[in-house]
Amino acid sequence: MASKKKLEDLIGIVQTLRGENGCPWDKEQTRESIKPYLVEETYEVLEAIEQKDPEKIKEELGDVLLQIIFHAQLSQELGEFEISDVIETICEKLIRRHPHVFEDKKVNCSKEVLKQWEEIKRSEREEHNKDKALYGVPVQLPGLLRAHRLQEKAARVGFEWKEISGTIEKIEEEFAELLEAINGGDLVRIEDEIGDLLFAVVNFSRYSGVHAEEAIRGTIDRFIYRFEHMEEKILSSGRELKNVSLEEMESYWNEAKKLEP
């Protein structure tokens, strides 16, 4: 039985691919050219997790790991750092941010852990003259996820509704302002108010313990399932969707809702 490959084997393979006699495509790549793949592979991990498929999760995690090793290899070639430095940095960070595990600091619950984590992060930022509470949320994140993370950070420094009713009232307020903008026919203001309403809904979702990004992904999956069911029913009858009434489409849609797993 062949021995299992190790991290060092993957590092060696990437180095070979980038080497003199390596793969022409791999040798051409830069940080910018492979940047989209890191995001794409991460979402494929999320999809595998949602499908509860261990084999798929294993495969997709490997693809993400490849992206990390590849980026580290590019940095090594530029004389900046190598994968061992990446590992060293994250190890130091985990130990530093868990004094309740690696030192004698006491915490009573996960909320205290998160508060402590944010305080430690803030002290780290101050060392780098980056002491703003919202610092560190990547602008490249999907909108709902970015909103959630920003609200989360704001809440940890006290900018938070005392009761969930406050988040509901904010949704009602933003919806009223959106209707007012629609009645006024101002497209710029309509866009602004839609953004405000979405932001308020994300805040309610976060306060409720539901992740808005996951919620919308679930809704999208259900939409696809119902639409494809409707589409299959119509196409199997020899017709096209454009020739079917909305009422008939809706009947198939409701049928799909009842059949959902």
* pTM of the entire predicted model: 0.65
> What is residue 129's three-state secondary structure?
coil
Q: What pLDDT band is residue 98 in, cutting at 50, 70 and 90? A: very high
User: Contact at 8 Å (CB) between 202 and 148?
Assistant: yes
Which of 35-44, 193-202, 230-239 has the weakest average pLDDT? 35-44
C-alpha torsion 233→248→218→172, nearest 10: 170
CATH of 141-210, one of 3.65.10.10, 3.40.190.10, 3.90.800.10, 1.10.287.1080: 1.10.287.1080
Distance CA 187, CA 253 (A): 32
Chain-centroid distance of CA 177 in Å reads 29
Q: Is the pLDDT of residue 261 over 90?
A: no
The neighbour count for residue 261, using CB atoms within 10 Å, is 3
User: Contact at 8 Å (CB) between 252 and 233?
Assistant: yes
Structure tokens at 234: 């119509």
User: Contact at 8 Å (CB) between 169 and 159?
Assistant: no
CB-count exposure of residue 82 (10 Å: 0-12, 13-18, 19+): middle
> What is residue 140's three-state secondary structure?
coil
Query: 3-state secondary structure string, 175-215?
Result: HHHHHHHHHHCCHHHHHHHHHHHHHHHHHHHHHHCCCHHHH
| Residue 184 region by backbone torsions, left for phi larger than 0, else alpha for psi between -120 and 50, else beta | alpha
pLDDT score, position 15: 96
257: nearest Cα among 239, 218, 230: 230
User: Contact at 8 Å (CB) between 99 and 116?
Assistant: yes
Q: What pLDDT band is residue 140 in, cutting at 50, 70 and 90? A: confident
Per-residue model confidence as pLDDT tens digits over 14-49: 999 999 999 999 999 999 999 989 989 998 998 899
**7-96: CATH class:** mainly alpha
220 vs 118, higher pLDDT: 220
- H-assigned helices in the chain: 7-18, 24-28, 31-50, 54-77, 83-96, 99-102, 110-127, 143-156, 164-184, 187-208, 212-236, 246-259
CB-count exposure of residue 116 (10 Å: 0-12, 13-18, 19+): middle
User: What percentage of residues in the chain have a pLDDT greater than 90?
Assistant: 76
pLDDT (average), residues 138-146: 89
